[in-house]
Structure 1
Amino acid sequence: MDIELANHMWDTFKNSGPSDVSERVQHDSRGPIRGLWPNFEIHGLINRTAITTKSLAAQRAFGAYGEGITWAVVDSGIEANHSHFARHSNLGLPGSPLSHRSFVGGSVADALTDKAGHGTHVAGIIAGEDTGVLIARNHIVDDKDLRVRQEKVAAVSGMAPKCSLLSLKVLRSDGSGDLVALIKALQFLRQLLQEHDGELPVHGVNLSVGYPFDPSWFGTGQTPVCREVDALVRAGLVVVAAAGNTGCGMARGFGPRASSFQMGVGQTINDPGNAEAAITVGSTSASPYHTGVSYFSSKGPTGDGRPKPDLVAPGERVVSAAAGKLWEELGPPSTRTPYAENSGTSMAAPHVSGVAAAFLSVHRGFIGRTGEVKRILLGSAVDLGRSRDFQGNGLVDTMSAIQSV
C-alpha cells in the first residue's frame, strides 16, 4: 500500500471516533502504519473445537459423520425438544431395540428431559447439528462483572453430527446423583449387549459423571464402578470417561510471610476414569498448542501408578446445546439462546466420544474391537509437549486416527 495513502487513512480513522474500521489499524511509535488487518468474523467455540480435533476435516474428507453408530450418554438426560437434535433425528433410534431410560425414577419420557442441562450440553458435543443460530458467550468485563453476550453463528455441529444418541439418565434435576444409579446404567448396557450377541445395538458410552477418588478407600481401578466399566469394554463398548476437575489445589509456603498459591496436583483422576480399559480424557482450551492442559483438569498417574489420562480434548468455554438450569443461568429471557458455554472435563470427554463414533462410522470393521480402537486413538494423538501426567498421549486427532488404518 502507498505510505501516503495509508497515513491519510490513519488520520481519517483516528479523527472519526470509535468504529469497526478504525480498530483494524495498528499504530505504534516505530511508525504511523505497521499493518492493516480485516475485522474477521468469529464463530462459536464448538466450531473451533471441531476444527481443533480435526472432526470437520474428517467429515469433508471421509464422510465421518457418525452415521449408523449409536452412543449412550449416561448423564442428566437429553432435552429432546432442542433443535440441535432435530435435523438428524439423533434421539429417534428408528428400528432399534433400544429405548431411553431413567435410573433416577420416572419414565422413558423423563430420560428425554433435562432440567440440569448438563447431559444436553454433553450430548450436543457428540452429535447433532443446527444452522443460523444464536449462541451465548460469557463476556468478562472485570472480576466483578460477568455479562452474557449474544452472537449469531452460521452453524453449530457435534463431532459426529449424524450419530444416534441413547439417553440413560443417572443425574437428578438438580444435577446430583449417586453411584448406584450409575452402576445400574452400566449393568443395563452390559445386559443389552448380552441379549444381542453378534450385532451390537450400541457402540459406545460417554461418562461425564463421576466422583473424586481417594486411593486409601479401595484399590485404584478396582472399585465397583471401575470393574463395571472394564467389563463393559470387554463386552464390546468403547467407554469414554472424564478425568475430573480436581487437578488444581492450594499449597502454602513456609515461614511467617508465606503465602498460599495454586498448583497442579497429581493422582487426582476421578472414578470411573481410573478404570484401566476406559479412555480417560483431560481438558485443554480450543487453542491447546498455545495454552496446553487446563489448570483444573485432573492429573495422573493413578493411585496405583498407571498412566492416566489417556487423551486430552477441548473442555474450556465450549459452546453446545443449552437446556434446563444451564439455559436459565443465561439471565432474563432476552439474553437466553439455544446454545451456551460450559467448561470442564465433562465437555472434553464427549469430544473423544464423537471422534470415536466418527472413526467407527468410517471403519466399521473395528466395531466391538475396543482395545484396537483405544490403541488407534491414543497412537494417533498429537503430542502437545506437556507432561505425560497432564496430557496423556496428547490431543485427540480425528483425521490421523482414520488415516492410520
Structure 2
Amino acid sequence: MPTDPEMDRFNLTRSVISAPLIRDLHERHRRKTANTGITKFPQGMKNLLTSRNSGGDQEPPRNEQVPPQQSDADLPHLEVIIELNLAYKDGVEKAAERLKELLVQAEPELAADTDGDHHLRISSQYVFARITENTLHLLVDREHDLPRQERIVQYIWPDFDVEPHLHRSVPTVKADAAHVAFCASGKGMVWAVLDSGIQGDHPHFKKHDNLNVTLPIQHMDFTGGGDPLQDPFGHGTHVAGIIAGELQNDQIDGGIKAFTRTRVDRMDPNTREIKTDIKYIPEPIERITGVAPECKLVSFRVLDQNGRGKTSNIIMALNKINEINAYGRSLIIHGVNLSVGYGFEAEWFACGQSPLCTEVNRLVKSGVVVVVAAGNTGYGTLQTDAMSAVKSPLQLSINDPGNAELAITVGATHRDQPHTYGVSYFSSKGPTGDGRMKPDLVAPGEKIQSCAAGTTAAAVNLKTGTPCHYVEDSGTSMAAPHVSGAVAAFLSIRKEFIGQPEKVKKIFMDSAIDLGRSRDFQGKGMVDLMRAIQSV
C-alpha cells in the first residue's frame, strides 16, 4: 500500500521517547545549526531514533548525521515526564529509586534538589525531571536495548506547558430552581480547583466560608513558591466563583462593583492603523451566586502568576487528591475542576492515553468526579476553490486532558440563549483523535460574570479608577465550573451517588438538553441540574 505523504510513519516507530520530544530536540538542533553551523546529532540521539522498531526496518531521521557528544555546558535543559516501567522485575518503586540514582550520577546537583526547585520529583509511576540533553541521551542509550523486565523506563514525554482555557448563566443550567425546589446548594461537598490559585480574601467566598477546609484537606501550591490562596493571574478565582460562593449588594461597603467588557476598534488618523481598546462598563448587580453556593473549595495552584504551568504540576495535584482520599477508601474531596490543558496532536501519542489523561482516569476510578474544559481551539481556517480563506468550526480539536475517557469534558455555549446561538465558535469540538465522542456536555461559557482578582481586577481598576469585584470572561474554562457546580449541588442531595462518578456522568449526560446541534459540537447537550435531580 502506498505511504500517505501527509502521514509520518516514523512516528509509529516504537521508541523509549515520545514523538513530540523528538520533534522538540530536532527543533533545538535546527536552531543550533542556524547559529553555529553544527549539522549533526549526538550519538545517543541516533540510537534513540533508530531503535525499537516494531517492523524490523530501521529508519533514521531524514537528513541527519551523528557528531561527537557536546558538553553539558553547551546544552539547554529539558523538562520531561519519565514514565516508569510497571513490568520492571523489582517493582515500580525500585524502578524509581534506580532512575533517581542514574540521574544523580549524570547530574550530581540533582541530589540536593528540593520540592521547591521542581528539578526532580517522584509521583506514583512518574518521575518529573529537569535534565540536560546529554543525560537524556545516556538514559535512552541504556534503556533501548534491554529486555522489558530489565528496563526502568517505559516512555519519556515532554512536560507540556498547560494554560487556562478562558450571572445570568446560573438560571441557564437551572441551578436557581434547584436551590429553591431541592435546597441543592452543594452543602457538604468539597471540590478541588486546579488552577492559578483562589484569592482567599475575595468577599464572594465569605458568606459560606467556602475556603475554610480542615486537615487532611489543605490548600496547596505545585508551582514552587506560590501561595494557593493568592491569585495574581485571576483565572482560578473566576473559575472558583462560578462553582461556589455568594455575595449580596448590602454585604459589602459601597456595594458590588461588577463590569462588562466592550471592545472598541478605531483608526488612528495619522498612521491609518486600526487600534483596539477594551472598555469596562459598570453592571448593576444586587446578588450573585455560584452554581453550588455552599460547596467547599480547595485551591491546588498549578499555574503561576502568568497563567502558565507544567503538566507535572497537575499530575502531582491529582496524585495528592488520591492520597488525601486514601485512594478511594475515605472520599473527602468529591470532585475536581480542570479548566486548564494543552492542544492535542494525533501523532504525539494514542489519544486519551497521555500521562495526564491516565491520571485523570485513575482518579475517576477511585471515586472522584473530574470535570475538564474541552479547550478553546474549536475553530480554524477553511480554504475552498470558491472562496478565500475564512474562519470555520474545527472538529478533532478536543484538548488534553479533555480526551480522557472518564472525564466529563465540557464545551461552551452562550450564557443565556444557548438554543438560539448554539455552541460557541471557539469551543473545541469532537470527536477525539481516536474516534470517541467528545465533548460530553456543554454549558454557558460566553461573557460569564464571576470573581475578579489579580491582573484582571487590576486592569479594570486602571481603566475605571474603582475597585472590581466581578468581571466578564469567556471560554470553556468558564463552562467547566458550571458543570462542576451542578454535580456538587446534585451530590449534596443525592448522596447515594457520592463515589460513583461514572454513574453521575451518565445521569448528567442522559438528562442534558438537546440544543439541536451536531454531537461533535454539543455532546449530549446542555447541562440541566433540575432534570438530573428529577431523573433519579
TM-score by length of 2: 0.64
Name the structure 2 match of 1:118.
235
Shift of 1:333: 5.3
Describe the SS at the equivalent of 2:521. Answer: helix
Specify the alignment match of 1:265 in structure 2. Answer: 394
- Contact 2:216 2:324 (C-alpha < 8 Å) held by counterparts: no
1:137 match: 260
Deviations 1:76-106 (A, max 9, x none): 000001000011010001x442000000012
**CA distance in structure 2 between the partners assigned to 1:198 and 1:230 by the alignment:** 17
Aligned to 1:69: 189
1:338 aligns with 2:469: yes
Q: Which residue of 2 aligns with 1:90?
A: 210
CA distance, structure 2, for counterparts of residue 362 and residue 312 of structure 1? 23
In the TM superposition, residue 332 of structure 1 has moved relative to its aligned partner by 3.3
Offset at residue 336 of structure 1 (A): 4.0
Q: Tell whether the 8 Å contact from 2:375 to 2:398 is kept in structure 1 after alignment.
A: yes
Q: Is the 8 A contact 1:150 1:335 kept in 2?
A: no
User: More relative contact order in 1 or in 2 (CA 8 Å, sep 6+)?
Assistant: 1
CA distance in 1 between partners of 2:518 and 2:338 (Å)? 24
Q: How far did residue 252 of structure 1 move? A: 2.1
2:439–2:523 CA contact under 8 A, matched in 1: yes
Q: Is the 8 A contact 1:221 1:227 kept in 2?
A: yes
Kindly indicate whether residue 373 of structure 2 is the aligned counterpart of residue 254 of structure 1.
no
Pick one of 277, 282, 294 that aligns with 2:406. 277
1:399 aligns with 2:530: yes
Cross-structure match for 2:172: 52
Residue equivalent to 2:418 = 288
Distance 1:231 1:145 in 2: 45
In the alignment, which residue of structure 1 is the partner of 2:100?
none
CA change 1:228–1:391 in 2 (3 A) is same
| AA aligned opposite 2:292 | A
Q: Which residue of 2 aligns with 1:148?
A: 280
Is contact 2:192–2:297 with CA below 8 Å preserved after alignment?
yes
Any residues of structure 2 matched to 1:6-405 within 5 Å, and which? 47-93=167-213, 95-106=214-225, 110-132=227-249, 133-140=256-263, 144-194=276-326, 197-254=328-385, 258-286=387-415, 287-330=417-460, 331-332=462-463, 334-405=465-536
Q: CA deviation at 1:254?
A: 2.8
Tell me if the contact between 1:148 and 1:335 (Cα under 8 Å) persists in the aligned partners.
Answer: no
For residues 412 and 459 of structure 2, what CA distance do their matches in structure 1 show? 23
Amino acid at match of 1:267: L
- How far apart are the structure 1 equivalents of 2:385 and 2:466? 48
Over alpha carbons, which structure has the higher Rg? 2
| Residue 140 (structure 1) shift | 4.0
In the alignment, the residues of structure 2 paired with residue 335 and residue 343 of structure 1 have an alpha-carbon distance, to the nearest angstrom, of: 22
Corresponding residue SS for 2:479: helix
- Output the amino acid matched with 2:382: A
Q: State the 1:114 CA deviation.
A: 0.2
Q: For residues 103-151 of structure 1, give each alpha carbon's deviation from its aligned partner in whole angstroms, at most 9, with x where no partner exists.
A: 00126xx000000000000000000000112211113455645321112
Distance in 2 between residues matched to 1:384 and 1:306, nearest whole Å:
20
**1:138-193 Cα distance to aligned partner (Å, 9 max, x none):** 13455645321112211110000000001000000010111111111111111222
- The residue that corresponds to 2:77 in the other structure is none
Counterpart secondary structure, 2:193: strand
Assess if the C-alpha contact under 8 Å between 1:136 and 1:336 holds in 2: no
Distance 1:52 1:141 in 2: 29
Aligned residue for 2:360, secondary structure, equals: helix
> SS state of the match for residue 329, structure 1?
helix
Aligned to 1:38: none
- What runs of 5+ residues in structure 1 fail to find an aligned partner? 1-46
Work out whether residues 280 and 463 of structure 2, in 8 Å CA contact, stay in contact via their aligned partners in 1.
no
Stretches of structure 2 that go unaligned for 5 or more consecutive residues are: 1-166, 250-255, 267-275
SS of structure 1 residue aligned to 2:258: strand
Separation in 2, partners of 1:324, 1:214: 32
CA contact (8 A) 2:291 2:485 kept: yes
Deviation at 1:335, TM superposition (A): 4.4
Q: Distance in 1 between matches of 2:177 and 2:300?
A: 30
Corresponding residue for 1:42?
none
Deviations 1:30-86 (A, max 9, x none): xxxxxxxxxxxxxxxxx3111000000000000000000000000000000100001
Residue identity opposite 1:131 in structure 2: Q
- My pick for the range that moved more, 334-343 or 138-147, is 138-147
Letter matched to residue 379 of structure 1: D
Superposed displacement of residue 215, structure 1: 1.4
User: What is the rounded CA distance, in whole Å, between the counterparts of 2:208 and 2:464 in structure 1?
Assistant: 27
Partner Cα separation in structure 2 for residue 222 and residue 145 of structure 1:
42
Q: C-alpha separation between the residues in 2 aligned to 1:250 and 1:366?
A: 43
Q: Is the 8 A contact 1:251 1:260 kept in 2?
A: yes
Q: TM-score scaled to structure 1, two decimals?
A: 0.85
Q: Which moved more, 1:178-187 or 1:114-123?
A: 178-187
SS in structure 1 opposite 2:304?
Answer: coil
Cα distance between partner residues in 2 of 1:137 and 1:248 = 25
Q: Distance in 1 between matches of 2:277 and 2:230?
A: 32
What is the CA–CA distance in structure 1 between the aligned matches of 2:261 and 2:414, rounded to whole Å? Answer: 15
Cα offsets for 1:243-268 (capped at 9, x unmatched): 0000000122337xx41101111110
